[in-house]
Amino acid sequence: MKQELVDVIKNDPDYLRLIRERSRFAWTLTITMLVIYFGFVLVIAFDPSLLGTPLFEGSVTTIGIPIGIGVIISAFILTGIYVRRANGEFDELTNRIKAKAKGE
């Protein structure tokens, strides 16, 4: 790619917006997932009896099982949220940047 084209793209306000918003959004989702995951691990480390509590009297299944499944499902949900926004807003900005770079 020609350096002039690279410079034009790097100085495009849409490109700067794309980089800023995508980065902020990705970090927000990353921190959310880390809080969920390490929150679960910290509960296991410091209060394992809490997660060992049966769901109801006589149950073999403990509270920790659905919470653990919730941690796994939250990763899929957060990934879906990112993909939805990436395929919508971020792709629109990318296409606009490419059109400007081509001179359309």
pLDDT tens, residue order, the chain (104 aa): 588 888 888 888 899 999 999 999 999 999 999 999 999 999 999 999 999 999 989 889 999 999 999 999 999 999 999 999 999 999 999 999 888 888 76
> Tell me, what's the pLDDT at 9?
85
Full domain range(s) for residue 16: 3-102
Query: Structural domain tally of the chain?
Result: 1
Calpha distance 55→63 (Å, rounded): 5
Calpha distance 56→83 (Å, rounded): 37
The answer to whether 17 and 93 have CB atoms below 8 angstroms apart is yes
